[in-house]
Structure 1
Amino acid sequence: MANVGGFFKNVMSEMRKVSWPRKKELTRYTVIVLATVAIMAVFFALVDLGISEFFRWYLDL
């Protein structure tokens, strides 16, 4: 049980050393991530639509 207490003490010590982003940086990073996810979602939706249409056309031959 002493090891568990020492573990959490070490965790807290290490967390104090972490360089946390400022609010402005965090906002910028969040916007970048959301924009990237949206762009990738649109890209894969278009690719899926294209592949689906190709197979519909191919199977109707």
Structure 2
Amino acid sequence: MKNGFKSLFSFFTESWTELKKVRWPSRKELTNYTMIVLGTIIVVALYFWVLDIGISAVIEAII
């Protein structure tokens, strides 16, 4: 059991060391990235909405 605690402690120590190396985005970068993601989601949602309406119209025309 002693070895298990040692490896667990080692894991958290190494994880903390790696987190210190991370370059975190600034507020402006984070805002820009968020806007890009939201814009992409809106564009993809609109694409599938239009596609759904088109397929529904084709199916209605057949039936």
Structure-1-length-normalised TM-score: 0.92
What do residues 4-52 of structure 1 show as CA deviations (whole Å, max 9, x unaligned)?
1110110000000001111100000100100110111011011011001
Aligned residues: 59
| Gap regions ≥5 residues in structure 2 | none
Identity between Structure 1 and Structure 2 (%): 39
Aligned residue type for 2:45: A
Runs ≥4 residues deviating over 3 A: none
User: Over aligned residue pairs, what C-alpha RMSD do you find?
Assistant: 0.6
Q: Where does residue 60 of structure 2 map in the other structure? A: 56
| Gap regions ≥5 residues in structure 1 | none
